[in-house]
Amino acid sequence: MCQTQSTARRNRVLWLEIRPPYLIYLGDAKDRLAAKTGQGIVDWRSDWAIGQLRLPGCNADLGIPDMTVEAAVAAGAKTFVIGTVSSGGVLPVEWTDVIVTAIEQGMDVASGLHTRLESVAEIAAAADECGRRLFNVRHPDQNFATGNGEKRSGKRLLTVGTDCSIGKKYTALCIERELRARGVDAEFRATGQTGIFIAGRGVSIDAVVADFISGAAEWLTPAAEDDHWDIVEGQGSLFHPAFAGVTLGLLHGTQPDAFVVCHETTRTRMRNIDTSMPTVEQVIDLTVQTGRMTNPQIRCVGVAVNTENLPERQARDVIDVLQDQLSLPVTDPMRFGASPIIDYLLAVA
């Protein structure tokens, strides 16, 4: 039986917030990497992660309390979040019962899998009967216009990369956190599934039809107060043959006043393809060249280096060399903080 009997229908427009707190479902995740969505939530919104639910044999642990659906609801959980990936992004049939239970106990459900939640008859029926919302964050259902390139009020910063999967989301979140700590009005704008769970709203920009990517980016970063900063999670890389299109659309649509280049010095080939990594200078030059189409004042305000694979002394040496080479602030925002970039940003903005 449903915990509540609401006549409200499911609403999947992602600008409506996914309600925290979350019960994060890990299923039978084979390792920690498979649970990176859940891990991202815990890393950045630990106060939203009320507990985790794991099946026997799960090899991932987010370090938060294990809970049943009933215990999580009693503790205040509002949304059942699928925080792990499955093979091919398919929703395993053995997950259906626990999802239906979550719905019947009063939770909305949010998923980043390729399978739409409502495509499973039992889940769709339970959501309709109980008036619960289903969020398919990988599949935006918002209708977007094509981009128009018109100047909007407010300020925007975009993270870009020498490659994909290189730290753009975490860099954006570090920058948002530091700006807010200094009393600056700033908001993280999510463009990928994990980012949406962290922010509670957003749009998976790589799932938008190509003609509407820049329009979706404009919609995501609307006009704002003059001193407000939207900190936009970047996607892909202008130099990656597979993902340059989404990167360019995001760049044109967000019209960034500032951008930060994300880089990993130990990576010599681009992810999943046999192509050499571009230099940071090449990324800066091409980003400025293409970004000027919608914001002639675009400028680079720093470089975020992912030094996770380096000992601290070597990491600091790499940062010092790049800083001297580029005459821009360089840091690993996760390891050493984002202050150098923020200092420069606020000085030149």
Q: Note whether residue 147 is domain-resident.
A: no
CB atoms inside a 10 Å sphere around CB 155: 23
Looking at residue 95, which CATH number applies to its domain?
A: 3.40.50.720
Q: What is the pLDDT of residue 2?
A: 77
100 half-sphere exposure, CB direction, 13 A CA radius: 14
H or E, element range at 27 = strand 22-27
Same domain as 118, residue 193: no
Looking at residue 184, which CATH number applies to its domain?
A: 3.40.50.300
Question: Token pair for residue 187?
Answer: 């908001």
Same domain as 299, residue 207: yes
**Bridge partners of 162?**
none
Q: Note whether residue 285 is domain-resident.
A: yes
Question: How many structural domains are present in the chain?
Answer: 2
Q: Which domain holds residue 244?
A: 155-348
* 278 Cβ contact list (under 8 Å, min separation 6): 162, 237, 239
From 136, 165, 195, the end of a domain falls on 136
Which residue, 329, 340, 131, 168, is CA-closest to 251? 168
Segments in the chain below pLDDT 50: 5-15
H or E, element range at 125 = helix 121-130
Same domain as 37, residue 168: no
Same domain as 172, residue 111: no
Same domain as 188, residue 119: no
Q: What is the pLDDT of residue 249?
A: 97
Q: What is the pLDDT of residue 25?
A: 97
Same domain as 110, residue 162: no
Asked whether 77 and 50 are in contact (CB, 8 A), the reply is yes
Q: Note whether residue 6 is domain-resident.
A: no
By three-state DSSP, how is residue 73 classified? helix
**CA–CA–CA angle 339, 340, 344 (5° rounding):** 110
Q: Note whether residue 118 is domain-resident.
A: yes
Q: What is the pLDDT of residue 271?
A: 86
